[in-house]
A and B are shown apart, each in its own frame.
Chain A
Amino acid sequence: MPYVYALAEHGRTLATRPLGEMLREDLIEKAAGEEIVELDFTDVLGASHSFADEFVARLAEEAESDEVGFAVTLVGASDDVERVIRRALDRRELSLPQPA
């Protein structure tokens, strides 16, 4: 079973780089020892590019380089939110695996 990190618990809109950094650190601490982490964007209305870069793209980068010890997947994102996240991943030439 993957560890599910529900973003909507932290706000329906996610706007800044410092929030992205704070949630990334929170997630890394909570998901220690897990193999797969699902980033669940269900009920999130919007995410800024800076948040997406700092939270998702940096996390994906750290997962790819085995810094965090788990793989990351994305679930529940609306089209708008997913577009922003995909753009953030593209900027760092990264991608996320599809959830099983």
Chain B
Amino acid sequence: MFAVRLRVFIDWHIERGRSVVVEKPQSPAAKAVFDAMGISPRSQPGGEDDTIMPVTRLTEFPEVEDVAAQTREILEYQLTDVSPLGAAAFMAVSELCANAIDHGRNSLGAYAAVRRISEPRKMVTIAISDLGVGVPEHIRQRYPEWREDGWAIAHATKENVSGTDDPHRGIGFSAVLEAALTRSLHAAQMDILSANGHCRLGVVQETDKVEVFPAPRFRRGTWITYDLISV
């Protein structure tokens, strides 16, 4: 999620006509700043091989088709140690990215990244964000009584609950979790942060649970991290 946040931050400033210079932590300029602050940044774990999809900006639905297909094919044909997660990852990327573009409309679009992590357990982690209206405000278009942001997010993840009037919409989150209810997964955990809400959806060995926490701070848009942990 850090890489997604960084890319959103950079694009947001560029869109406003500001100049952005990105320095690697090892560069002399960045090192001088870190030294002055007494900070020693550690390297990110893993390497290039762990990137299934780099941080990608999505503005149109055909791009979602492409990244969902790419994610599934890389997982199923190239990364055999996590290939059983391919179907669940495909469902997550397709449904959550489409939601981000559909409900999160804003000038920047949506951002997504997919990565494999090998230690301590084999897993695939997916990060998706947008700077749109956010889940709580969207869902309150239809359910204004759901005032608390965390619980508004939790309700929005239930099947056929949607901010639209179409009774057949609102299947995205439930479809993603349904795809995780499989024996090839040890567990799945989705953290959704939006406005002042933080909702965590968990699936452990074919049973699911919902938790709501106070968000550390207000967040514009919707920020989702989804971890699929292999058996």
Contact = CB atoms under 8 A, between A and B. Distances in A.
A91 B76 CA distance: 29
Given A13-B90, A17-B98, A48-B68, A91 B171 contact: yes
A16 interface: yes
Interface residues of A, number: 21
A80 interface: yes
Contacts of B93: 15
Given A45-B72, A48-B68, A80-B87, A15 B171 contact: no
Contacts of B175: 48-50
B95 interface: yes
Interface in A1-30: 11-19
Nearest to A88: B171
Interface string B91-103: 1011100100010
B58 to A, nearest CB: 11
Contacts of A19: 61-62, 65
Contacts, number: 69
B94 A18 contact: no
A49 B171 contact: yes
A80 B178 CA distance: 12
A14 B168 CA distance: 19
A91 B168 contact: yes
B64 interface: yes
Contact of A18 (B61, B73, B168): B61
B32 interface: no
A16 B171 contact: no
Nearest to B92: A48
A45 B98 CA distance: 19
A48 B68 CA distance: 10
A46 B65 contact: no
Nearest to B76: A45
B221 interface: no
Contacts of A15: 64-65, 68-69, 90, 93-94, 98
Closest 5 CB pairs of A and B: A15-B94, A49-B175, A15-B68, A48-B94, A13-B69
5 contacts: A13-B65, A13-B68, A17-B98, A45-B73, A48-B90
Interface of A: 11-19, 45-46, 48-51, 53, 57, 80, 87, 91-92
Given A13-B68, A46-B72, A51-B94, 9 more contacts: A11-B69, A14-B65, A15-B90, A16-B61, A16-B94, A18-B98, A19-B65, A49-B172, A50-B175
